[in-house]
Structure 1
Amino acid sequence: IKGLGLGLGLGLGLGLGLGLGLGLGLGLGLGLGLGLGLGLGLGLGLGLGLGLGLGLGLGLGLGLGLGYIDKCE
């Protein structure tokens, strides 16, 4: 269980960081580049970025946590 918690914590932290960074970058790019307006661009970018980041983080966290459990047992 310890490995799972550690893996999930790490994965989620990474995923959130990645998602926010990606989302802000995407949002600014979309909003300014495509002329969608800042609000719409940021909303879209953050939604996409957080979705991607959290998905990635959860996958990574589960993988790390389960791998750690396998190694310990």
Structure 2
Amino acid sequence: MGNDSGEVLSPLASVLEIATDINFTNIIQTEFTNITSQQILINSVGDYYWRVRARDEAGNESVSSEPRKFTVE
């Protein structure tokens, strides 16, 4: 493994995942974005969970955020 100076040398993007379960075994949508908000389209009612993590151009990723729940009615 190479040396990591701790300096950000490439732009960061966010990886947003939407799942039907809190353990993210059934991910229904993954979005890669460099903005702080994202619109998504979900056609089925029910409970969903989302999490986000940072990713650089080299493919290095942070740990995922705590899952958050939302409901489509």
- TM-score scaled by structure 2? 0.26
Task: Please say which structure displays the higher CA radius of gyration.
Answer: 1
More strand by share: 2
- TM-score scaled by structure 1? 0.26
